[in-house]
Amino acid sequence: MPSLPPLFRPPHLGPRKHAEARRQQELARRRGTKTERGYDARWERASLRHRRAHPLCVCCKANGIIKAAELVDHIVPRVLAPSLFWDEANWQSLCQICDKRIKRRIERAYEQGKAARAALRLDRPLPEFFWVFSDPHPHGLRPSAIPLTIVCGPPAGGKTTWVAQHKADGDVVIDLDEIGARLSGEPPEAWSREWLAKAIAERNQLLGSLAGRSEGRAWFIVCEPLAEDRQWWGDTLRAERVVVIEAKPKECVRRCRAHPVRAAQLERYKAIIDAWWDRYTTRDGDEVIR
């Protein structure tokens, strides 16, 4: 039989593309179909009601962009918290572009984190702490108009204390834990993640508002163990400084034991701290505090 002309010959996939195709097939197999994951007719009706009540993309809206939502997303992914699947506090309206950006970031974190990879190999849900390191980058942020310092580090690493020691009266401090605590009425170390959607939305609004400020300084507290993510925040917001507090795991755990709220959740905090150090990468330009 004569060979097909080059135009109709199937493309040759190199070893890397074959490996990527196999990886995607395996991920799809583990994920299951949409119906198996719960996205059935009932979900379609519920998500349509949510979009009618919340018609704008929350990521765009938080940054001053008016764009219609096209779908409903789970803020804390389904694999992390199946119990929150039908909790509307865990839903957010998104456009397709923001949804894809968030999913790419979550998948990258899923692949890069050793603890997450171990969870994937064991075919069990991702650890509870995964959401801490999959916080999507807001779309459309503008540079801060006032001097901004971004402070990163592991949980219980002293970020909040360091900022409190260096900020001045009237400065803006943006911290997701502080926002979550204020909204929920619970301690910053133990606020319920059912408030996560509202806390992230308010945090992103505060970050967006920095472009319109003219006085004082701003401080942004965020975990961000990956160098590329710190680079993104620094470049997007044009931060004056990016500070990384490299508090060692033993020191972080010691602080947890000495804290009444964190001590009651010591094993959870140990897992989060280990995960941060497991994924931590250095970056030229960071101001490192040891």
Residue 210 has pLDDT above 90, yes or no: yes
- In terms of domains, do 60 and 123 share one? yes
Same domain, 187 and 271: yes
Which residues have C-beta within 8 Å of that of residue 157, sequence separation ≥ 6? 245, 246, 247, 251, 252
Q: Is the same domain home to 182 and 261?
A: yes
Query: For residue 102, which of 65, 69, 77, 127 has the smallest C-alpha distance?
Result: 77
Q: 39 in helix, strand or coil?
A: coil
Mean pLDDT, residues 56-71 taken together: 81
Domain boundary among 130, 159, 174: 130
Kindly state whether residues 163 and 278 are assigned to the same domain: yes
In total, how many domains does the chain have? 2
Q: Report pLDDT for 168.
A: 94
Residue 251 C-alpha from the chain's centroid: 25
Give a yes or no: residue 18 inside a domain.
Answer: no
Identify whether residues 163 and 238 lie together within a single domain: yes
For residue 126, what pLDDT is reported?
A: 37
Q: Is the pTM of this model over 0.85?
A: no
23 in a structural domain: no
Residues 95 and 125 in one domain: yes
64: left (phi over 0), alpha (psi -120 to 50) or beta: left
- Rounded to an integer, the average pLDDT of 121-140 is 47
Closest Cα to residue 212, out of 1, 63, 47, 56? 63
Predicted confidence (pLDDT) at residue 129 exceeds the cutoff of 50: no
Q: Evaluate whether residue 139 is within a structural domain.
A: no
Q: 198 and 72 in one domain? A: no
Tokens of 172: 């803006």
Residue range 73-122, pLDDT digits in tens: 887 677 666 777 888 877 888 898 888 876 766 666 555 554 444 443 33
d(CA 87, CA 193): 11
What are 174's strand-pairing partners? 220
Domain edge (last residue) among 75, 104, 130: 130
Sign (positive/negative) of CA torsion 214, 217, 221, 224? positive
In a shared domain, residues 108 and 171: no
Of 72-86, 164-178, 193-207, the least confident: 72-86
- For residues 158 and 189, the model is more confident at 158
Show Cβ contacts of residue 134 under 8 Å, excluding neighbours closer than 6 positions.
Answer: 77, 105, 106, 109, 110
pLDDT of residue 114: 47
Closest CA to 180 of 164, 190, 191: 191
Confidence at residue 70, expressed as pLDDT on a 0 to 100 scale: 94
| Mean residue pLDDT across the chain | 79
The distance in angstroms from the start CA to the end CA of the chain is 70
Find the domain containing 126 and state its range. Answer: 40-130
Q: Which residue blocks in the chain are alpha helix, DSSP H?
A: 15-31, 41-53, 58-62, 96-112, 114-121, 159-166, 176-184, 196-209, 227-237, 249-258, 260-263, 266-279
Q: Please check whether residue 112 is in contact with residue 229, taking contact to mean a CB–CB distance below 8 angstroms.
A: no
CB 175 within 8 A of CB 30: no
Q: Which of 140-154, 176-190, 193-207 shows the lowest per-residue confidence on average (mean pLDDT)?
A: 193-207
Quick one: 89 and 187 in the same domain? no
Within 10 A of 290 (CB to CB), how many other CB atoms are there?
7
Q: Looking at per-residue confidence, does 21 or 222 come out higher? A: 222
* Residue closest to 157 by CA, chosen among 260, 271, 249: 249
pLDDT in tens, 16-63: 666 667 766 666 666 667 776 778 889 999 999 999 998 988 777 766
In a domain, 9, yes or no: no
Coil, strand or helix at 158:
coil
Q: Quick one: pLDDT at residue 105?
A: 64
pLDDT for position 52:
94
For residue 239, give the 3-state DSSP assignment.
coil
Would residue 157 count as lying in a domain?
yes
Verify that 209 and 182 share a domain, yes or no: yes
Residue 196 lies in a domain: yes
Domain presence at residue 4: no
Same domain assignment for residues 57 and 156:
no
Would 275 be classed as within a structural domain?
Answer: yes
The CATH number that applies at residue 206 is: 3.40.50.300
On whether both 170 and 102 belong to a single domain, the answer is no
